[in-house]
Homo-oligomer: A and B are copies of this chain.
Amino acid sequence: MFPLNQWYVAGFAWELQDKPLARTFLNHKVVLFRTGNGEVAALEDRCCHRSVPLSCGALDEGGIRCGYHGLLYGADGQCIEIPGQVKIPGKARVRAYRVAVRNQVIWIWMGEQADSAPDGPPPEIAAHDNPRYKFKGGAFHYDAPYQLIHDNLLDLSHVGYVHAKTIGGNPKVHMEAPTNVSSDNHDVRVVRWMKSSQPPATYSAAWPFKGLIDRWQEIDFHVNHLNIFTGAVDANTDALDDPRRGGFHMRGFHGITPETDTTSHYFWTMASSSHPDMPDNLELVYQQTAMTFEEDRVIIEAQYRNMCQFDGAPQIDIHVDAGANRARRIINILSQPAGHPA
């Protein structure tokens, strides 16, 4: 179940150099590549002649050339050369997908119908172009459906149990933190504060806190990505709702894109604020974030395997599920075909 009329994250601009890149999005096999003029294109990953993946071919002036018999395709999917043959049949073409690059994120639009067009550009990821932050990113592949990753990110109460070695902290403090869940149209916002708490390992390593900290987690869910801003200041030194507050800030971008019904792409970046005494803390934050996300992957894949094996077993809700449940309702509404409301 996917909302089809959405921009989805397809990758990062730096991934596309001189080779085609094969990826599957929402059950569609796609080849991503740069055309001769440097623009990003996305085509169905199948030559219309004998079905060899175009991603097995090579970039060529003007497009991508099949590696079996040399058919050349432009960015619009039209075959523009069949070596040794003068006439090119009109049906010698493959599907082309809309793509856009913004703040170094490549977005793709699959569309509910062939002519479904986006009504605007993809989202801005401001932290990627904010001089106050440096950032670094990566990608995980999940053998689990994408909504289980949403659940995980919208409920950060799990960090005390799952991420004890990095960004965790006292599990009970997390589970008992005051949490505010709000929503607006198709977005969900979850804000949690943990005042006067012990700094977790990653925080202590990345910032010279003096003792206890006032800690915040601000999760902004959008259908195609989440922005999660977390951080802390020395306890009782700044108001947690003051946008100009100081301290240690982590700004996470989480592009969760369905690969298939049961597998997912997780594209992410992490930006962090620099302390004058710790100019290199981004690398540390990046490494520990990657370790943290790997811990999530292990537990979410185990969860999904178990859900398959206990097919249809009932689940109970607890207090931490409010944000995730709202997001699931939004996805449910947006996944209905146009004219067929839920």
Contacts and interface: CB of A to CB of B under 8 A. Distances in A.
Counting every copy of the chain, the complex holds: 3
A86 B198 CA distance: 24
A53 B313 CA distance: 13
Interface in A280-300: 299
A319 B84 contact: yes
A168 to B, nearest CB: 12
A44 B310 CA distance: 10
A85 B318 contact: yes
B67 A161 contact: yes
Contacts of A302: 52-53, 56
A51 interface: yes
A52 B303 contact: yes
A175 interface: yes
Interface residues of A, number: 52
A177 B92 CA distance: 22
Given A69-B158, A158-B68, A176 B83 contact: yes
A48 interface: yes
22 contacts: A45-B306, A46-B310, A48-B315, A50-B151, A51-B303, A51-B307, A52-B299, A56-B299, A66-B161, A67-B161, A68-B158, A68-B162, A68-B299, A68-B303, A69-B155, A70-B171, A82-B319, A83-B171, A83-B175, A84-B172, A84-B177, A91-B316
